[in-house]
Protein backbone atom coordinates (compact mmCIF):
# COMPACT_ATOMS: atom_id res chain seq x y z
CA UNK A 1 0.00 0.00 0.00
CA UNK A 2 1.33 3.43 -0.88
CA UNK A 3 1.80 6.12 1.74
CA UNK A 4 -0.83 8.19 -0.09
CA UNK A 5 -3.34 5.32 0.14
CA UNK A 6 -2.58 4.90 3.83
CA UNK A 7 -3.31 8.53 4.63
CA UNK A 8 -5.47 10.61 2.27
CA UNK A 9 -8.48 8.24 2.00
CA UNK A 10 -8.57 7.83 5.81
CA UNK A 11 -8.71 11.60 6.25
CA UNK A 12 -11.34 11.97 3.53
CA UNK A 13 -13.57 9.29 5.05
CA UNK A 14 -13.74 10.96 8.45
CA UNK A 15 -14.00 14.50 7.08
CA UNK A 16 -17.07 13.35 5.14
CA UNK A 17 -18.45 11.61 8.21
CA UNK A 18 -18.02 14.77 10.27
CA UNK A 19 -20.02 16.70 7.69
CA UNK A 20 -22.75 14.08 8.08
CA UNK A 21 -22.87 14.30 11.86
CA UNK A 22 -22.97 18.09 11.69
CA UNK A 23 -26.01 17.80 9.40
CA UNK A 24 -27.67 15.54 11.98
CA UNK A 25 -26.72 17.94 14.77
CA UNK A 26 -28.28 20.85 12.92
CA UNK A 27 -31.47 18.85 12.37
CA UNK A 28 -31.45 17.92 16.06
CA UNK A 29 -31.28 21.60 17.00
CA UNK A 30 -34.23 22.38 14.74
CA UNK A 31 -36.33 19.46 16.00
CA UNK A 32 -35.62 20.14 19.67
CA UNK A 33 -35.69 23.94 19.36
CA UNK A 34 -32.12 24.24 20.59
CA UNK A 35 -30.15 27.32 19.57
CA UNK A 36 -27.33 26.05 17.29
CA UNK A 37 -24.71 28.04 19.21
CA UNK A 38 -25.51 25.91 22.27
CA UNK A 39 -24.30 22.74 20.54
CA UNK A 40 -21.48 24.52 18.70
CA UNK A 41 -20.16 25.72 22.06
CA UNK A 42 -20.73 22.43 23.89
CA UNK A 43 -17.80 20.69 25.59
CA UNK A 44 -17.34 17.32 27.25
CA UNK A 45 -15.70 19.05 30.20
CA UNK A 46 -15.19 22.74 30.98
CA UNK A 47 -11.44 22.69 30.27
CA UNK A 48 -11.87 21.02 26.86
CA UNK A 49 -12.36 22.80 23.55
CA UNK A 50 -15.90 23.28 22.22
CA UNK A 51 -17.45 21.37 19.34
CA UNK A 52 -16.67 24.08 16.79
CA UNK A 53 -12.95 24.01 17.63
CA UNK A 54 -12.87 20.18 17.58
CA UNK A 55 -14.21 20.29 14.00
CA UNK A 56 -11.76 23.01 12.97
CA UNK A 57 -8.82 21.06 14.38
CA UNK A 58 -9.84 17.80 12.72
CA UNK A 59 -9.85 19.56 9.35
CA UNK A 60 -6.54 21.26 10.13
CA UNK A 61 -4.77 18.04 11.12
CA UNK A 62 -5.84 16.38 7.86
CA UNK A 63 -4.87 19.27 5.58
CA UNK A 64 -1.73 20.39 7.38
CA UNK A 65 -0.61 16.81 7.93
CA UNK A 66 -0.70 16.06 4.21
CA UNK A 67 0.99 19.35 3.41
CA UNK A 68 3.82 18.60 5.80
CA UNK A 69 4.20 15.01 4.59
CA UNK A 70 4.61 16.22 1.01
CA UNK A 71 6.65 19.32 1.95
CA UNK A 72 3.93 21.47 0.40
CA UNK A 73 2.96 24.91 1.63
CA UNK A 74 0.98 24.49 4.84
CA UNK A 75 -2.46 26.08 4.52
CA UNK A 76 -3.66 28.61 7.04
CA UNK A 77 -7.33 28.76 7.90
CA UNK A 78 -8.67 31.35 10.32
CA UNK A 79 -11.10 29.95 12.88
CA UNK A 80 -14.09 32.13 12.04
CA UNK A 81 -16.89 29.59 11.62
CA UNK A 82 -20.00 30.32 13.70
CA UNK A 83 -22.61 28.00 12.14
CA UNK A 84 -23.04 24.35 11.24
CA UNK A 85 -23.02 25.29 7.56
CA UNK A 86 -19.76 27.20 7.87
CA UNK A 87 -18.15 24.25 9.67
CA UNK A 88 -19.38 21.84 6.99
CA UNK A 89 -17.92 24.16 4.34
CA UNK A 90 -14.61 24.18 6.18
CA UNK A 91 -14.55 20.38 6.21
CA UNK A 92 -15.49 20.30 2.52
CA UNK A 93 -12.66 22.74 1.76
CA UNK A 94 -10.21 20.50 3.63
CA UNK A 95 -11.49 17.51 1.65
CA UNK A 96 -11.07 19.41 -1.62
CA UNK A 97 -7.55 20.36 -0.57
CA UNK A 98 -6.74 16.68 -0.05
CA UNK A 99 -8.17 15.77 -3.47
CA UNK A 100 -5.54 17.98 -5.10
CA UNK A 101 -2.71 15.76 -3.83
CA UNK A 102 -1.33 13.12 -6.16
CA UNK A 103 0.03 9.77 -4.98
CA UNK A 104 3.49 10.57 -6.35
CA UNK A 105 3.77 13.53 -3.96
CA UNK A 106 3.77 10.99 -1.11
CA UNK A 107 6.53 8.81 -2.57
CA UNK A 108 9.30 8.66 0.02
CA UNK A 109 7.23 10.64 2.52
CA UNK A 110 7.43 7.81 5.04
CA UNK A 111 11.18 8.35 5.48
CA UNK A 112 11.27 12.09 4.74
CA UNK A 113 11.91 14.33 7.76
CA UNK A 114 8.95 16.42 8.83
CA UNK A 115 9.48 19.41 11.09
CA UNK A 116 6.36 20.89 12.66
CA UNK A 117 5.34 23.18 15.51
CA UNK A 118 4.45 21.72 18.89
CA UNK A 119 3.43 24.57 21.15
CA UNK A 120 6.21 27.14 21.28
CA UNK A 121 8.86 24.78 19.88
CA UNK A 122 9.28 22.44 16.90
CA UNK A 123 9.73 18.71 16.54
CA UNK A 124 11.19 16.64 13.72
CA UNK A 125 10.06 13.09 12.95
CA UNK A 126 10.14 10.83 9.93
CA UNK A 127 6.96 10.99 7.86
CA UNK A 128 5.90 7.56 9.16
CA UNK A 129 6.35 8.67 12.76
CA UNK A 130 4.68 12.02 12.06
CA UNK A 131 1.60 10.36 10.53
CA UNK A 132 1.22 7.50 13.01
CA UNK A 133 2.36 9.14 16.25
CA UNK A 134 1.17 12.72 15.80
CA UNK A 135 -1.20 13.46 12.92
CA UNK A 136 -3.52 10.44 13.03
CA UNK A 137 -3.84 10.44 16.83
CA UNK A 138 -4.66 14.17 16.89
CA UNK A 139 -7.01 13.94 13.90
CA UNK A 140 -8.96 11.01 15.35
CA UNK A 141 -8.97 12.54 18.84
CA UNK A 142 -10.67 15.72 17.64
CA UNK A 143 -13.06 13.83 15.35
CA UNK A 144 -14.05 11.39 18.12
CA UNK A 145 -14.40 14.20 20.64
CA UNK A 146 -16.73 16.08 18.26
CA UNK A 147 -18.80 12.90 17.91
CA UNK A 148 -18.80 12.42 21.69
CA UNK A 149 -19.94 15.99 22.34
CA UNK A 150 -22.87 15.58 19.97
CA UNK A 151 -23.87 12.15 21.29
CA UNK A 152 -23.60 13.40 24.88
CA UNK A 153 -25.99 16.21 23.94
CA UNK A 154 -28.62 13.86 22.56
CA UNK A 155 -27.87 13.86 18.84
CA UNK A 156 -28.83 10.41 17.59
CA UNK A 157 -25.56 9.28 16.05
CA UNK A 158 -23.51 6.16 16.51
CA UNK A 159 -20.37 4.42 15.32
CA UNK A 160 -21.67 4.05 11.77
CA UNK A 161 -22.09 7.84 11.60
CA UNK A 162 -18.51 8.31 12.87
CA UNK A 163 -17.29 5.96 10.16
CA UNK A 164 -19.46 7.61 7.52
CA UNK A 165 -21.23 4.38 6.56
CA UNK A 166 -24.75 5.04 7.80
Query: In this structure, what CATH number is given to the domain that contains residue 30?
Result: 1.20.120.450
In this predicted model, what pLDDT tens digit does every residue of 27-51 receive, in sequence order? 999 999 999 999 999 999 999 999 9
Looking at residue 115, what is its pLDDT? 97
CB contact at 8 A, 42 and 36: no
Contacts of 94 (CB under 8 A, 6+ apart): 11, 15, 59, 60, 62, 63
What value does the mean pLDDT take over residues 73-88?
97
Domain count, the chain: 1
pTM (two decimals): 0.96
CA distances (Å), origin 119, targets 5, 32, 83, 123: 29, 39, 28, 10
Residue 71: what are its φ and ψ, rounded to 5°? 55, 40
Looking at residue 100, what is its pLDDT? 97
Domain housing 148: 3-163
The DSSP line for 90-114 is HHHHHHHHHHT--GGGGTTTTTSEE
CB atoms within 10 A of CB 65: 25
Percent of the chain, pLDDT > 90?
A: 99
Q: d(Cα 76, Cα 22) in Å, to the nearest integer?
A: 22
In this predicted model, what pLDDT tens digit does every residue of 141-152 receive, in sequence order? 999 999 999 999
In this model, does residue 139 exceed pLDDT 80? Answer: yes
Amino acid sequence: MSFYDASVPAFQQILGALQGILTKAEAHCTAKKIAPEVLLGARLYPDMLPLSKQIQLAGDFAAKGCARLTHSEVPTTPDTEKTFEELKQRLAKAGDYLKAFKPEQFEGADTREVTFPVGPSTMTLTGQQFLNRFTFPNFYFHAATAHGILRHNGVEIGKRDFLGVS
